Amino acid sequence: MKYSLGPIQYYWERNLVYDFYEQAKDSGFDCIYLGESVCSKRKELKTDEWIDLAKELSASNKEVVLTSMALIMAQSELSTLKRICSNGQVTIEANDLGAVQFLAENGVPFVLGAAINIYNQVSLKQMINLGMKRWVMPVELSRAWLQEILAHCSDIRDQLEVEIYGYGHLPLAYSARCFTARSENKPKDQCEKCCIHYPNGRLMKSQEGQKVFVINGIQTMTGKCNNLILDQNEMNGMVDLLRLSPEGEEVFDVLNQFKSDNQTIYDSSIHCNGYWRALPGMDTYIETELL
């Protein structure tokens, strides 16, 4: 199993970002994803700085992938996307079919992100034909679903890597509305980029105190932290990369726990693995012998 470091999903200060990737350089991750995937107003690092950082990290003997935004609406966002897709060096994770359009036109291989809806082998194969070399499975799909898809893919399995989200709050939805700005009673156009004050997003609880979702700008995430440490031994042959998403610098420690298969870090009060087990995403499934 290879491990990938997911992009920072939240809005972190510039220095934090650079410090974080200094650590990533010397970490045990096989692959590093970086870049802005949520909101085009987040400019602690400008697009060119992300591209430069990606190129710099590429020199550190790790695979580097530049991610891209999932929700592309404005012309300016489309132009930025086009520029990222034409960087000429670093592999791109496409999170919108607009990105696939640019990448396929350029004839460069790409990673297909989880925000693009691939639910079956037929659409998966279409993407391979367009240049996809790695597929990140949509977050709501399960082990059983993946198994069914791969059962139809023996002819192309060697052209394809499969990656899934193994740790961190999962992205669940994207909106035109900014929920962080709304939580501060600010309109999006005058948001003052207030999400920088919430480096782990803002927790949204039910009126009974149950953690339901995390709001992260225009993105809504799982209220619990997805954690597949109990399940990683069942991924052999199906999953090539397991993505650990940074909730902070502790992701480097989380990587060590995953590598040493330390299942004691799983805590059902804050973690979930339901999606992988074909249950409601927020649920926990633990094999009875582990209880």
Partner 1 sequence: MELLCPAGSLPSLKAALNNGADAVYIGFKDDTNARHFAGLNFNDKKFRSAVETVQASGKKLHVAINTFGHPEKMDRWYSAIDKSIQLNADAIILADLALLQYARDKYPNQEIHLSVQASATNTAAIQFYHQQFNVKRVVLPRVLSLKQVQQIAENTEVELEVFAYGSLCIMSEGRCYLSSYLTGESPNTVGACSPAKHVVWQENTGGLETRLNGVLIDKYAENENAGYPTLCKGRFEVDNQVYHAIEEPASLNTLELLPQLKAMGIKAVKIEGRQRSSAYVEKITKVWRQAIDQCSLKNFTAKPDWMKTLGDLSEGRQNTLGAYERTWQ
Q: Could you say which residues in the range 220-249 bind partner 1, by CB under 8 A?
A: 220, 222
Tokens of 251: 């992701």
Nearest distance in Å: CB 82, partner 1: 8
Number of chain residues interacting with partner 1 (CB under 8 A):
71
186 binds partner 1 (CB under 8 A): no
DSSP-derived 3-state class of residue 177: coil
CB of 158 or CB of 208, closer to partner 1 = 208
The only residue of 43, 46, 157, 205 in contact with partner 1, by rule CB under 8 A: 205
Q: Which of residues 59-88 bind partner 1 (CB under 8 A)?
A: 70-75, 77-78, 81-82
Nearest distance in Å: CB 181, partner 1: 9
172 binds partner 1 (CB under 8 A): yes
The only residue of 189, 236, 269, 287 in contact with partner 1, by rule CB under 8 A: 189
Tokens of 270: 């804050």
Q: Which of residues 34-63 bind partner 1 (CB under 8 A)?
A: none
Do residues 3 and 29 lie in contact, with contact meaning Cβ atoms separated by under 8 Å? Answer: yes
Q: CA-CA distance, 29 to 133, in Å (whole number)?
A: 19
E strand or H helix at 56: helix 47-58
CA distances to 22, 26, 84, 226, 240 from 252, rounded to whole Å, are: 12, 10, 27, 16, 19
Binding window for partner 1 (CB under 8 A); candidates: 35-43, 168-176, 242-250, 251-259: 168-176
E strand or H helix at 100: helix 97-106
Q: Which of residues 143-162 bind partner 1 (CB under 8 A)?
A: 145, 148-149, 151-152
The gap between the terminal CA atoms of the chain, to the nearest Å, is: 25
